[in-house]
């Protein structure tokens, strides 16, 4: 992300970074330049007059405070998803945004991927009619590697993976249909990860590393906090297998399934409308539209296969585009594709689903925006 923003003399430059550890800051200076300012105190960073905008890329449980402090300091803010780990935290951030008169954007990079932009265009064109049903299956083939070797596996720091990992998919369901969730019911469990290993056990000192399918030698990107905690430690308390039933505004029904010990990695979306349906065949390259034989359009339109053009850049080409959108928002006030309200509604849905999951499928309504924000946040 920093590489996309760092174009000295061409409109934007990365000038500073904050991290709680020195090692990644050294890594940052090596990539951006020795003259870059670095600190372990975020308030020291925010006090600098040469900084116009802040990108919050820290762990989820820190987003709320960092974003609110940055807005209060008069900085524009880009925040990674999920916006926060509680709905109340999101509402606090929205209030800070409204009070700041600055720009605020959420890092929903899937809105900027070619595959999902094609799907959005198809839905908005009306080809499949009015969306009524959505199914999303998320096979997380690297679940242990990405989510159980560090803080992600602890609910106190992530709430759940129905929030942390699913925040993207929940947002996609909202964005593709144009409607937000109003009620959820969920079920899930910890079926593979977790266990009785000591909380302080790490892969590099474990006697079983030669035989463990989840062995991870650790992070090699300059972090002091090596991502190699045992995935079978007793402190893991987030579900690795879950399903959510969602009722959206307009009567749309959606189902989301997530499994972190799948053998492959894939997101599979199906949207059924009154005239037909669309489905992606893989994560990047194809979308198929099939029309109902009784469709009013059936005689004029055949089933269609859309070949999605590949794109360069991280996250399927999304990173360069979302970075440009952030800069344009700051310069012109243009409304971003990934809005703070969308960030809040994704978190609110994920949190409500987690509450339902841990309460035996009991349905939960999505909390409405506080009255103080209802007419100020779009």
Of 224-238, 240-254, 333-347, the range with the lowest mean pLDDT is 224-238
**pLDDT at position 219 over 70:** no
3-state helix, strand, coil in the chain (%, to 5): 35, 20, 40
Give every CB contact of residue 255 below 8 A, 6+ residues apart in sequence. 134, 135, 136, 243, 244, 245, 246
What are residue 205's phi and psi, to 5 degrees?
Answer: -120, 10
pLDDT of 286 reads 93
d(CA 306, CA 120): 12
**pLDDT at position 222 over 90:** no
d(CA 26, CA 205): 26
Give every CB contact of residue 196 below 8 A, 6+ residues apart in sequence. 232, 234
At 309-367, the pLDDT tens digits run: 888 888 888 999 999 999 999 999 999 999 999 999 999 999 999 999 999 999 999 99
pLDDT of 281 reads 84
Largest separation between any pair of C-alpha atoms in the chain: 66
Over range 298-304, report the average pLDDT.
67
| Neighbour count for residue 332 (Cβ, 10 Å) | 9
CB-CB contact of 16 with 36 (8 Å): yes
pLDDT of 284 reads 79
Task: For the chain, give the mean pLDDT.
Answer: 93
Q: Residue 55: name the closest of 105, 124, 126, 109 by CA.
A: 105
User: Does the domain spanning 111-314 belong to CATH 3.30.360.10?
Assistant: yes
Report the share of the chain in percent with pLDDT over 90.
83
At 102-124, the pLDDT tens digits run: 999 999 999 999 999 999 999 99
| Band of residue 143 on the pLDDT scale cut at 50, 70, 90 | confident
pLDDT of 263 reads 92
Give residue limits of the domains in the chain: 2-110+316-339+369-374, 111-314
| Band of residue 295 on the pLDDT scale cut at 50, 70, 90 | low
d(CA 292, CA 275): 6
Residue matched to tokens 């990173």: 319
pLDDT of 120 reads 97
CB-CB contact of 68 with 79 (8 Å): no
Same CATH topology for 2-110+316-339+369-374 and 111-314: the answer is no
Over range 290-302, report the average pLDDT.
68
Coil/strand/helix, residue 340: helix
Query: What token pair was written down for 158?
Result: 């992530």
pLDDT of 299 reads 55
Q: Residue 171: name the closest of 358, 375, 340, 1 by CA.
A: 340
At 72-100, the pLDDT tens digits run: 999 999 999 999 999 999 999 999 999 99
| Band of residue 375 on the pLDDT scale cut at 50, 70, 90 | confident
Q: With left for phi above 0 and alpha for psi between -120 and 50, is residue 119 left, alpha or beta?
A: alpha
pLDDT of 196 reads 95
The CATH class of the 2-110+316-339+369-374 domain is alpha beta
Global pTM exceeds 0.75: yes
CB-CB contact of 161 with 152 (8 Å): yes
Beta 276-280 vs 286-291: how paired, if at all? Answer: antiparallel
């Amino acid at each position: 992300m920093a590489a996309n923003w760092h174009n000295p003399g061409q409109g934007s430059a990365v000038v500073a970074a904050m991290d709680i550890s020195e090692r990644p800051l050294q890594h940052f200076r090596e990539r951006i330049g020795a003259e870059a300012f670095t600190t372990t105190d975020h308030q020291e960073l925010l006090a600098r007059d040469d900084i116009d905008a802040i990108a919050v890329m820290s762990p989820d449980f820190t987003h709320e405070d960092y974003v609110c402090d940055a807005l209060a300091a008069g900085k524009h803010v880009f925040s990674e998803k999920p916006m926060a780990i509680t709905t109340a935290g999101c509402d606090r951030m929205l209030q800070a945004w409204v009070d700041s008169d600055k720009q605020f954007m959420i890092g929903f990079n899937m809105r900027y991927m070619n595959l999902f932009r094609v799907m959005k265009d198809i839905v908005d064109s009306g080809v499949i009619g009015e969306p009524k049903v959505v199914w999303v299956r998320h096979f997380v083939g690297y679940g242990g590697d990405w989510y159980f070797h560090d803080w992600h596996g602890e609910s106190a720091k992530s709430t759940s993976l129905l929030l942390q990992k699913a925040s993207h998919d929940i947002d996609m369901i909202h964005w593709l249909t144009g409607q937000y969730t109003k009620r959820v019911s969920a079920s899930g469990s910890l079926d593979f990860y977790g266990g009785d290993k000591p909380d302080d056990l790490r892969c590099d000192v474990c006697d079983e590393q030669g035989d463990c399918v989840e062995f991870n030698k650790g992070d090699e990107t300059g972090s002091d906090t090596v991502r190699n905690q045992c995935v079978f430690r007793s402190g893991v308390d987030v579900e690795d297998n879950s399903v959510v039933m969602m009722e959206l505004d307009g009567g749309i029904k959606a189902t989301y399934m997530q499994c972190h010990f799948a053998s492959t990695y894939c997101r599979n979306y199906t949207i059924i409308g009154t005239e037909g349906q669309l489905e992606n065949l893989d994560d990047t390259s194809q979308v198929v539209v099939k029309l109902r034989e009784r469709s009013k359009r059936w005689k004029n339109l055949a089933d269609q296969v859309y070949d999605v053009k590949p794109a360069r850049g991280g996250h399927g080409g999304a990173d360069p585009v979302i970075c440009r959108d952030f800069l344009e928002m700051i310069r012109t006030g243009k409304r971003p594709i990934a809005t703070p309200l969308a960030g809040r509604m994704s978190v609110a849905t994920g949190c409500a689903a987690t509450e339902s999951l841990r309460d035996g499928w009991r349905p939960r309504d999505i909390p409405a925006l506080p009255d103080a924000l209802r007419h100020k946040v779009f």
